[in-house]
Each structure stands twice: as C-alpha cells, then as structure tokens.
C-alpha cells in the first residue's frame, strides 16, 4: 500500500486556495471517477463568491469556510438526465435507486478529489454539515428540482498539518463472509487509544475517548436534518416507504 492514503487528516486552516491548474486537475479527477450505470448523477459547484462562502460558513457552523481555501459542494443531480429525456418514464431517475446511486456518485467523486488534492500536497476537509439546512443551501446555490446538496469539501494550501486520528481495529471492521465477531477487548483498547490521542494532541486537547464521542453525538443538534425526507419530496424525488 502507498503511504498517501494512510496520511489523511482534516485541515481547517488554509493559507490559500488551490491554483487554477490544481483546480482543473481536481475537477477532472472527480469527473473521471466510477459512476453507477454511467449516469454521472452529480454536479460539482465551486463556491468562490465571498458572500456565499460566508453564508455557507454560517449554515455549517464552520467559520473557516469563509476564509482562504476553496469550497466545493457535491450535488446529487438527476435533473440533467431528466431534461435530456423529457418524455421518458421518470421513475428510474427519481426513486430510491436514483437517489442512492446519485449519493454514491457524489461520495466517490468527493473521495477521488480529496485523494488527488492530498497527492498534490493540498489539505482538505469534508463538510457533512452542508446538510444542516438543505432548504437554504438549495436556495443559496440556485439548485433546480431533482437535485440535492449532499456534502462539501474545503481544499487549499494547508497552514499546518494535524495528526491523523486513530481508526477502529481492523478486526472489528472487516469480516470474513459474515459480520465481524464482537470484540469488546479490542474496542476498549481502541477507546483508550483515542483518549490518549485527544489528551496529547497539541491543539484542542481534551480528556475524551471514542465512547465519549459517541455519547456526545447522540445529543448533537441535527438542525434541520430530520426534515431531509420532506425536502427531497419537494425537490421531486419519489421515495415510497
């Protein structure tokens, strides 16, 4: 295995945005990623307008989004394909299959962009908080029906590098032919490892393990995320229960 995939870490402090040549390479890489059924159901929006970046920073509760660095928003998009076949039965392009395939397209493209960025020495940070208020994000980015803003990625020249976070033990994530056997001891060791990581990191140190993080997440304010099902319906997706 090459070392680069093992060096991923989230960067929230950027010195500058990628150069024009770097941006072109990132965007081409995202487009060249595998796509379900070759439908290419994602659109990439590059947010450079300072007012819009500030609005996204407020919606995501991530102040660094308004600073140096380039913001990409990955949009699940069946609108483009529907417009090309206006007389076709729209079910296969508006139902669960299309939604899940489009989400996969977005996520694969985002991962490809992040990997290419890190290869070029750039820093990145995923923004799942794009989902905090989908209605406002749709309005801000002027998204048509049959689209949905799924996630964001900040990219830029890193001001500094953080330490990679420890990952779950291999044995509890990877199973042979069935779900992995529960290993309480391995998970306890991992909790201790994450606690050591947080205690000793140079910035924002705290006494917290992985279980503490899980408990805190169960109390996290999800903002308007519980309304995503309603928003998808308004956007034209037909998702029977």
pLDDT in tens, 110-158: 999 999 999 999 999 999 999 999 999 999 999 999 999 999 999 999 9
Name the token pair of 102: 């489009």
Pair 130, 47: CB distance under 8 Å: no
Q: How confident is the model at residue 186, as a pLDDT?
A: 97
DSSP collapsed to 3 states, 48-78: CCHHHHHHHHHHHCCHHHHCCCEEEEEEEEC
Q: How confident is the model at residue 3, as a pLDDT?
A: 54
CATH (residue range 1-164)? 3.40.109.10
Q: How confident is the model at residue 241, as a pLDDT?
A: 85
Q: Model's pTM, two decimal places?
A: 0.93
Ranges in the chain, pLDDT < 70: 1-7
| Domain residue limits, the chain | 1-164, 165-221
Rounded distance between C-alpha atoms, residue 109 and residue 6, angstroms = 19
């Amino acid at each position: 295995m090459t070392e680069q995939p093992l060096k991923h870490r989230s960067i929230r402090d950027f010195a500058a945005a990628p150069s024009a040549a770097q941006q072109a390479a990132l965007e081409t890489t995202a487009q060249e990623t595998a796509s379900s059924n070759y439908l290419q159901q994602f659109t990439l929006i590059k947010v450079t307008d300072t007012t819009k970046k500030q609005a996204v920073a407020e919606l995501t509760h991530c102040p660094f989004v308004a600073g140096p660095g380039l913001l990409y928003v990955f949009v699940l998009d069946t609108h483009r394909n529907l417009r090309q076949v206006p007389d076709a039965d729209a079910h296969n392009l508006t139902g669960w299959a299309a939604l899940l395939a489009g989400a996969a397209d977005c996520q694969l493209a985002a991962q490809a962009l992040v990997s290419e960025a890190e290869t070029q020495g750039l820093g990145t940070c995923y923004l799942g908080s794009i989902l905090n208020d989908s209605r406002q994000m749709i309005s801000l980015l002027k998204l048509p029906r049959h689209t949905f803003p799924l996630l964001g990625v900040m990219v830029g020249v890193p001001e500094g590098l953080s330490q990679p976070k420890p990952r779950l033990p291999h044995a509890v994530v990877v199973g042979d032919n069935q779900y992995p056997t529960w290993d309480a001891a391995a998970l306890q060791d991992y909790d201790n490892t994450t606690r050591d990581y947080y205690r000793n990191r140079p910035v924002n140190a705290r006494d917290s393990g992985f279980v503490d993080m899980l408990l805190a997440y169960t109390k996290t304010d999800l903002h308007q995320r519980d309304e995503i099902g309603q928003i998808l319906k308004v956007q034209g997706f037909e998702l029977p229960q």
